Amino acid sequence: MIFSQTAQALAAHIPLSVDEIKGLLEVPPNLEMGDVALPCFQLAKQMKKSPTVIAEELAKTITTQGMTCSAAGPYLNVTFDRKAVVEQWLSAVLEPTFGRSNVGKGKRVIIDMSGPNIAKPLGIGHLRSTMIGNALYNIYKVVGYNVVNVNHLGDWGTQYGKLLVAYFKWASHDAIKESPIQEYLRLYVQFHEEVEAHPELETQAREWFHKLEQKDPEAYRLWEEFVKESLNEFNRMYERLDVKFDYVMGESFYNDKMQAVIDELQEKGLLVESDGALVVRLDEEGLPPCIIVKSDGASIYATRDLATAIYRHETMQGEKLLYVVGGDQILHFRQVFHVLKKMGYDWADECVHVPFGLMKFEGKKMSTRKGRIVMLDDVLDEAVQQAHSIIAEKSNNLNDQAGASEAIGIGAIVFGDLKNNRMNEINFSMEEALSFDGETGPYMQYTYARAQSILEKGSFEHVASIKGDHLTAASAWQLLKHVTEYPNALIQSAKLNEPSIVARYAIELAQLFNRFYHQERLLVDDAEEKQAKLTLVEAASRTMAKCLHLLGLKTPRRI
């Protein structure tokens, strides 16, 4: 809000649009210099004047009510009249629709997220695609997009030939009955251990996958069982994470759609032979050839992803396609998108890979082939148990300790991921994630609960107007300014596909709120002053709750 109002006031005096001006505005290094600063360097060429002269002339020219402008070398500093704007800003941020915008203009976005492989448990590594995708799904909706999310299950490929071989050779039916996914994982790991001494197992795996492709009754029945048991387990975990999907469509859904893609590539003269395989050359893009059909005649991931993209655009009416998939697939998606372009699909420009860095556990990369997988369920259980112990020490009289522990434990894991830039490599630490101090989920949730406690003790009731005189101190003013920038944090987060922007905004919001709480006496005797301060508490806590809900965290009112 503060950037928007500044940009609107400046737009009449400089040759830039409101959005372009907003992109240039900065927060001065200290409050004494002003509330907003405009560096004038980029204006020098257009206005044919030095930045210093531009700043001085603007300081004399702009006379917008409620704003004072001053020049500091090449910077124009803007200071707002706190008493004049406090009531207006608080009224705006307390509107139920605060933060919502129409940036997306109803454009249909399809988000590909989570995408675990069947017959394997969800590991801590699956958390990133799931929760980054979930946060983007929520954020895109708030800024005006028509959003659909798809869980693109890995339910097809030679790996299921391997699992079938392992199943027939080593499966324990009692173990499958008791814990199917754990037994399927054990079989998959055993296959890769045995194949080192018995390479003929690879041939058997290809043969069984070929049978599966031909819908051999026995192979297909077992594969359907793998899918069914996997979905049961996945759905239990998604429910715990409070993640829902509009569509669950595995790779197998596109089996009957790939030949049409191969035929189209052939008709358009894009397929060439290379060492027995059929590929699309991408030399002009400086990329290696994209393999469409392997030398043994089998299709490959790229073929399926081409069919998937075309289906999502043409049948599901997706105008923008997001793929929340790990950074190790950057080359793959570049190839797929360039092939779509060569096929004549201009909408390929609206296909976006949203990569993210690796998540390690105690410094170790996870691998299902070697059995080194940290179960997400186990991590969540441990987090909830530790949260319960901490809460029991802090609040013996809390009615719903179990509910609060679940919210805080799971919230700690989710926030511990999303506060980081998605491209960062994450080395997960349970101790760090569960701390109630620092930039953590529990700190955020505890701050929200503190605000609710203050409002309850102060018997807060919303009133039509408040006096700005009581909120002019530095801690109150900085908190209010930050609250007003919530809509901009959402827009930037969607623009960059970066949930950490919302998480970092929320962290600063909590820090500023706690500074306000410690520096100001809130429950004062004067009713008018108390009402003003509690209104700011309400505005901050509402905004904090919105941020946390978008990121996938719950907000217990008591901890």
**Pairing of the two strands 75-80 and 36-39:** antiparallel
What pLDDT sits at residue 355?
Answer: 97
SS3 of 322, please? strand
What pLDDT sits at residue 362?
Answer: 64
Q: CB 457: neighbour CB atoms within 10 A?
A: 11
Confidence class of residue 396 from pLDDT cuts 50, 70 and 90?
low
What distance in Å separates the CA atoms of residue 199 and residue 535, rounded to the nearest whole number?
70
Judge whether residue 298 has pLDDT over 80.
Answer: no
Lowest mean pLDDT among 116-125, 200-209, 246-255, 528-537: 116-125
Judge whether residue 371 has pLDDT over 60.
Answer: no
What distance in Å separates the CA atoms of residue 82 and residue 94, rounded to the nearest whole number?
18
What mean pLDDT comes out for the span 329-358? 97
The CATH number of 376-551 is which of 1.10.730.10, 3.40.50.2000, 3.30.465.10, 3.40.800.20?
Answer: 1.10.730.10
What pLDDT sits at residue 365?
Answer: 61
Radius of gyration of the chain (CA): 28
Lowest mean pLDDT among 26-30, 420-424, 488-492: 26-30
What pLDDT sits at residue 424?
Answer: 92
| Residue that is written with structure tokens 């690796």 in the block | 358
Judge whether residue 519 has pLDDT over 90.
Answer: yes
Judge whether residue 504 has pLDDT over 60.
Answer: yes
What mean pLDDT comes out for the span 270-293? 94
What pLDDT digit, counting tens, does each position of 266-280 carry?
999 999 999 899 999
Q: 309 with 321: CB under 8 angstroms?
A: yes
Judge whether residue 137 has pLDDT over 80.
Answer: yes
Confidence class of residue 372 from pLDDT cuts 50, 70 and 90?
low
DSSP for 177-246, written as a single string = HH-HHHHHHHHHHHHHHHTTT-THHHHHHHHHHHHHHTT-HHHHHHHHHHHHHHHHHHHHHHHHHT---S
Judged by phi (left if over 0) then psi (alpha if -120 to 50, else beta), residue 242 lies in left
More reliable by pLDDT, 445 or 62: 445
What distance in Å separates the CA atoms of residue 532 and residue 500, rounded to the nearest whole number?
31
Q: CB 312: neighbour CB atoms within 10 A?
A: 21
Question: Shortest CA distance to 185 belongs to which of 121, 242, 238?
Answer: 121
Question: Shortest CA distance to 298 belongs to which of 214, 199, 229?
Answer: 214
**Pairing of the two strands 108-113 and 320-323:** parallel
Percent of the chain residues topping a pLDDT of 90: 80
What pLDDT sits at residue 401?
Answer: 85
Judged by phi (left if over 0) then psi (alpha if -120 to 50, else beta), residue 145 lies in beta
Confidence class of residue 151 from pLDDT cuts 50, 70 and 90?
very high
HEC profile for 118-155?
A: CCCCCEHHHHHHHHHHHHHHHHHHHCCCEEEEEECCEC
What pLDDT sits at residue 296?
Answer: 76
Judge whether residue 348 has pLDDT over 80.
Answer: yes
Please state the separation of Cα 294 from the chain's center in Å.
35
What pLDDT sits at residue 428?
Answer: 82
More reliable by pLDDT, 317 or 46: 317
Please state the separation of Cα 393 from the chain's center in Å.
33
pTM of the complete model beyond 0.85:
yes
Contact residues for 6 (Cβ-Cβ < 8 A; gap 6+)? 21, 25, 36, 38, 67, 78
What distance in Å separates the CA atoms of residue 58 and residue 528, rounded to the nearest whole number?
38
Q: CB 194: neighbour CB atoms within 10 A?
A: 15
What mean pLDDT comes out for the span 198-208? 95
Confidence class of residue 514 from pLDDT cuts 50, 70 and 90?
very high
The CATH number of 2-80 is which of 3.90.650.10, 3.30.1360.70, 3.40.50.360, 3.40.50.300?
Answer: 3.30.1360.70
What pLDDT sits at residue 322?
Answer: 98
Q: 90 with 74: CB under 8 angstroms?
A: no
What distance in Å separates the CA atoms of residue 257 and residue 314, rounded to the nearest whole number?
13
Tell me the two tokens of residue 98.
């605060």
What mean pLDDT comes out for the span 146-154? 97
Confidence class of residue 21 from pLDDT cuts 50, 70 and 90?
very high
What mean pLDDT comes out for the span 509-530? 95
Judge whether residue 368 has pLDDT over 80.
Answer: no
Q: 3 with 488: CB under 8 angstroms?
A: yes
What distance in Å separates the CA atoms of residue 433 and residue 418, rounded to the nearest whole number?
11
What mean pLDDT comes out for the span 470-491? 95
Amino acid at 519: Q
Tell me the two tokens of residue 139.
């954020």
Average pLDDT, rounded, for the chain: 93
**388: exposed, middle or buried (Cβ count in 10 Å: 0-12, 13-18, 19+):** middle
What pLDDT sits at residue 468?
Answer: 82
What pLDDT digit, counting tens, does each position of 232-260 carry?
999 999 999 999 999 999 999 999 999 99
Q: 121 with 182: CB under 8 angstroms?
A: yes
What distance in Å separates the CA atoms of residue 374 and residue 121, rounded to the nearest whole number?
9
What distance in Å separates the CA atoms of residue 356 and residue 422, rounded to the nearest whole number?
5
What pLDDT sits at residue 392?
Answer: 85
Confidence class of residue 295 from pLDDT cuts 50, 70 and 90?
confident
- H or E element that contains 334: helix 330-342
What pLDDT sits at residue 125?
Answer: 80
Judge whether residue 67 has pLDDT over 70.
Answer: yes
Tell me the two tokens of residue 289.
């050839």
SS3 of 89, please? helix
Judge whether residue 299 has pLDDT over 80.
Answer: no
What pLDDT sits at residue 462?
Answer: 83
Amino acid at 304: R
Hey, where are the domains in the chain? 2-80, 376-551
| Residue that is written with structure tokens 């949930």 in the block | 499
What mean pLDDT comes out for the span 107-124? 94
| Residue that is written with structure tokens 């189209």 in the block | 264
**38: exposed, middle or buried (Cβ count in 10 Å: 0-12, 13-18, 19+):** buried
More reliable by pLDDT, 57 or 64: 57
Dihedral (CA of 193, 198, 202, 205) sign: negative
